[in-house]
Structure 1
Amino acid sequence: MTSFRSHAEKHNEEVYRDYKKDRKVGEGAYAVVYLGTQISTKKTVAIKKIKIGQFKDGLDMSAIREVKTLQELRHPNVVELMEVFFHKTNLNLVLEYLESDLEMIIKDKSIVFTAGDVKHWMLMTLRGLDHCHRNWILHRDMKPNNLLLGRDGQLKIADFGLARDFGDRGRQLTAQVVTRWYRAPELLFGAREYGYGVDIWSTGCIFAELLLRNPYLPGNTDMDQLETMFRALGTPSEAEWPGISLLPSYVSFKFYPKTPQRLLFTAAAPDTLELLESMLIYDPNRRISAREALLHPYFFNKPRPTPLEKLPRHIRESPEEVRLKRKADTLATMDDDTKRVARVLDFKAV
């Protein structure tokens, strides 16, 4: 036992000495994220420092889940956990560094992106999510700023602090997960038993946000979130969603008819709307799975997904400034149909 501990401590010290923190790039309630460097390879990394000492029972469960989950998952569209090491009262997660996220691209109105761009981002998101679900892991916080983008255009799902394994029938889970705007209706009604459908709903909201360049269902409170949802998608009935009235926090809402999505997503092709609507079905048992979504005609019809190297990417202009930009000649090479869709998606003429 002593020999094993000594070996583990030696390995931890070697890993610690191989990384240095360069500057802070983000901070949350329980963790600080640094831009760092692996000294032996000169590779840029992200180092997430979690303060163990501030939790009375030791290590925060979200940190344990994140480490456990990322050690199990290896996929091109899931962020890679490179190393884990302790230092003083901190747990440090060394993650691959990606320069930006999908939220930054959506909010930057100087960037014009096309239907093909949206298709490739959705393709990568669903591939990563399918890998999670096939390994019985729910992400439980899918949103644009948890979808990171590398310099090569690759998209990777990140931040698994709320992730949880699923699949055991009758297992009780908390409903207090997922950022509100992306939270599935069963969670808002207090469901304690749920599956992959909660991640699919969130992904549908992300899909809609990419098409609109604005959040799709931005509620101010949980009740307002449901109201916003029902105004957009209609108030669900027991016939449409069997068992809805039996959910723990169910309350009756004013009846709203379903608004034809064509009126809002005016530039979207029929296959785009069909896939979107299959992700945003109220009854989670009827909601499409990630694997089924990947086989949807949307991904095989024109326009084709934009090649990875031509997707909008960030350009680092100074150590303190990162902006996102499409190469100047990219739009000039698009065919006429793609240009037309791009104009409408951005609500501006190119």
Structure 2
Amino acid sequence: MDLAVRENSQRAARWEKGVKVGEGTFANVYKGIERSTGRKVAIKKIKAGEMKDGLDMTALREVKFLQELHHPNIIALLDVFSVKQNINLVLEFLDTDLEAVIRDKALIFQNADIKSWIAMSLRGLEYIHRNGVLHRDLKPNNLLIASNGELKIADFGLAREFGDAGSKMTCQVITRWYRPPELLFGSRFYSTAVDMWSIGTIFVELILRVPFLSGETDIDQLKKTFHAMGTPTEQDWPGHTKLPDYHEIGSYPKNPWWNMISSIGKEGQDLVKDMLKYDPVARVSARKALEHRFFSSYPRPTPPASLPKPLAELRPRALAPDETQGKPALKSSGSGAMKRKAESPQPGRNVARKLVFA
């Protein structure tokens, strides 16, 4: 037997695959255990044999970044092995996610709990950014929660390295509800600010218990954003009218939109405003956000082990579409960014969101 095949067989034997908990075009996710210890794991089987051009960039990126990034607030990759034409990622098993927390109306949580979840998200994100990586898919169901209450950033399939000089990247990333205006206007040169916008919208969602900006199309997403926060001016956001897919959406007055989250207190409102500035250059960084007085003011963040948590297990979920071989993660309904439509549900309807488990 070939040495590599033997080694893969031995590694595969270490893990026992259980019930399927997620399914997608190119990947399935299973509960599993480590045979020797009984430790719970998640096994993500990437079906490379069904891909048109073999193993796609999404899978390669996920393996690469999870092998390189090690932090308490990032999901841990425990093993990688291949069986036939399938690549298997063994990940630590995490009980639930932030979306389940938000949606569970039986849970009552306080400002101290919100501080804790946002602080953990920012610590993981600061580490990612410090290591020259953009996540590009932050949303509540990609913020997983362990049995000890620790929040961990997951799903690095759309992650990308970035350099100081900047390089051209696709704007077709980040689920629409959490996507910043610069990407909706077709920006191809961007940096860590795109992830900070996502965290800002998640912050508001934790307070409101419903998505903050839930557009049905890219145009509707911009309309909802501008209706809530006011149409940006050149002073608010220098150069935005020169972006590739810019066109006028409408003139909406500026409102003190942060009043809708007054329950979080003035410090929290100030931090959210810094995260959701229209101008990406002016948007607060993860490092600066962690230094914000919001986290040192009373009440102090809840210890992770004391955070409220849903009792029900996560239901089986559909895996989100992949960005493969240069093809966008979002389906296209025509030419131009304004016609692109993301794989997200319609607001106000009882439709399960497309989720990613790992």
- TM normalised by structure 2 equals 0.86
Q: Is the 8 A contact 2:112 2:300 kept in 1?
A: yes
Q: In the alignment, residue 40 of structure 1 is paired with which amino acid?
A: S
Task: Indicate the residue corresponding to 2:277 in structure 1.
Answer: 281
Q: Is the 8 A contact 1:261 1:273 kept in 2?
A: no
Superposed CA deviations along residues 203-223 of structure 1, whole A, max 9, x for unmatched, are: 000000000000000000000
Task: Indicate the residue corresponding to 2:268 in structure 1.
Answer: 272
- 1-side partners of 2:274 and 2:149: how far apart? 27
Q: Is the 8 A contact 2:197 2:275 kept in 1?
A: yes
Q: CA deviation at 1:139?
A: 0.5
Task: Indicate the residue corresponding to 1:33 in structure 2.
Answer: 29
Q: CA deviation at 1:176?
A: 0.2
Q: Is the 8 A contact 1:99 1:314 kept in 2?
A: no
Task: Indicate the residue corresponding to 1:73 in structure 2.
Answer: 69
Please point out which of 149, 152, 158 is paired with 2:154: 158
Stretches of 4+ aligned residues off by more than 2 angstroms: 5-11, 313-317
Please point out which of 157, 163, 167 is paired with 2:163: 167
Q: Is the 8 A contact 1:151 1:314 kept in 2?
A: no
Task: Indicate the residue corresponding to 1:228 in structure 2.
Answer: 224
Q: Helix, strand or coil for the counterpart of 1:265?
A: helix
Please point out which of 177, 180, 195 is paired with 1:181: 177
Task: Indicate the residue corresponding to 1:190 in structure 2.
Answer: 186
Q: CA deviation at 1:316?
A: 5.7
Q: CA deviation at 1:170?
A: 4.2
Q: Helix, strand or coil for the counterpart of 1:53?
A: helix
Superposed CA deviations along residues 21-50 of structure 1, whole A, max 9, x for unmatched, are: 110011123211100011122111000011
Please point out which of 40, 43, 50 is paired with 2:46: 50
Please point out which of 199, 206, 209 is paired with 1:210: 206
Superposed CA deviations along residues 271-300 of structure 1, whole A, max 9, x for unmatched, are: 000000000001100100000000000000
Q: In the alignment, residue 111 of structure 1 is paired with which amino acid?
A: L
Task: Indicate the residue corresponding to 1:112 in structure 2.
Answer: 108
Q: Is the 8 A contact 2:107 2:309 kept in 1?
A: no
**Map of 1:259-338 to 2, 5 A cutoff?**
259-315=255-311
- 1-side partners of 2:151 and 2:207: how far apart? 17
Q: Helix, strand or coil for the counterpart of 1:130?
A: helix
Q: CA deviation at 1:168?
A: 4.5
Q: Find the structure with the greater CA-based Rg.
A: 1
Task: Indicate the residue corresponding to 1:348 in structure 2.
Answer: none
Q: Helix, strand or coil for the counterpart of 1:285?
A: coil
- 1-side partners of 2:58 and 2:275: how far apart? 27
Task: Indicate the residue corresponding to 2:235 in structure 1.
Answer: 239
Q: CA deviation at 1:10?
A: 2.7
- 2-side partners of 1:166 and 1:142: how far apart? 17
Q: In the alignment, residue 308 of structure 2 is paired with which amino acid?
A: P
**Map of 1:10-29 to 2, 5 A cutoff?**
10-29=6-25
- 2-side partners of 1:164 and 1:320: how far apart? 29
Please point out which of 121, 124, 129 is paired with 2:125: 129
Q: Is the 8 A contact 1:22 1:35 kept in 2?
A: yes
Over the aligned positions, Cα root-mean-square deviation in angstroms equals: 1.6
Q: Helix, strand or coil for the counterpart of 1:93?
A: strand
- 1-side partners of 2:305 and 2:80: how far apart? 31
Q: In the alignment, residue 71 of structure 1 is paired with which amino acid?
A: Q
Q: In the alignment, residue 71 of structure 2 is paired with which amino acid?
A: H
Identity %: 53
Superposed CA deviations along residues 330-349 of structure 1, whole A, max 9, x for unmatched, are: xxxxxxxxxxxxxxxxxxxx
- 1-side partners of 2:297 and 2:288: how far apart? 16
Please point out which of 79, 82, 92 is paired with 1:83: 79
Q: Helix, strand or coil for the counterpart of 1:167?
A: coil
Q: In the alignment, residue 187 of structure 1 is paired with which amino acid?
A: L
- 1-side partners of 2:200 and 2:24: how far apart? 26
Q: CA deviation at 1:309?
A: 1.7
Q: Is the 8 A contact 2:196 2:285 kept in 1?
A: yes
- 2-side partners of 1:316 and 1:191: how far apart? 40
- 1-side partners of 2:188 and 2:78: how far apart? 33
- The structure showing larger relative contact order (alpha-carbon pairs under 8 Å, at least 6 residues apart) is 2
Q: Helix, strand or coil for the counterpart of 1:37?
A: strand
- 2-side partners of 1:160 and 1:197: how far apart? 17
- TM normalised by structure 1 equals 0.87
Contiguous gaps of at least 5 residues in structure 1: 322-350
Q: In the alignment, residue 106 of structure 1 is paired with which amino acid?
A: I
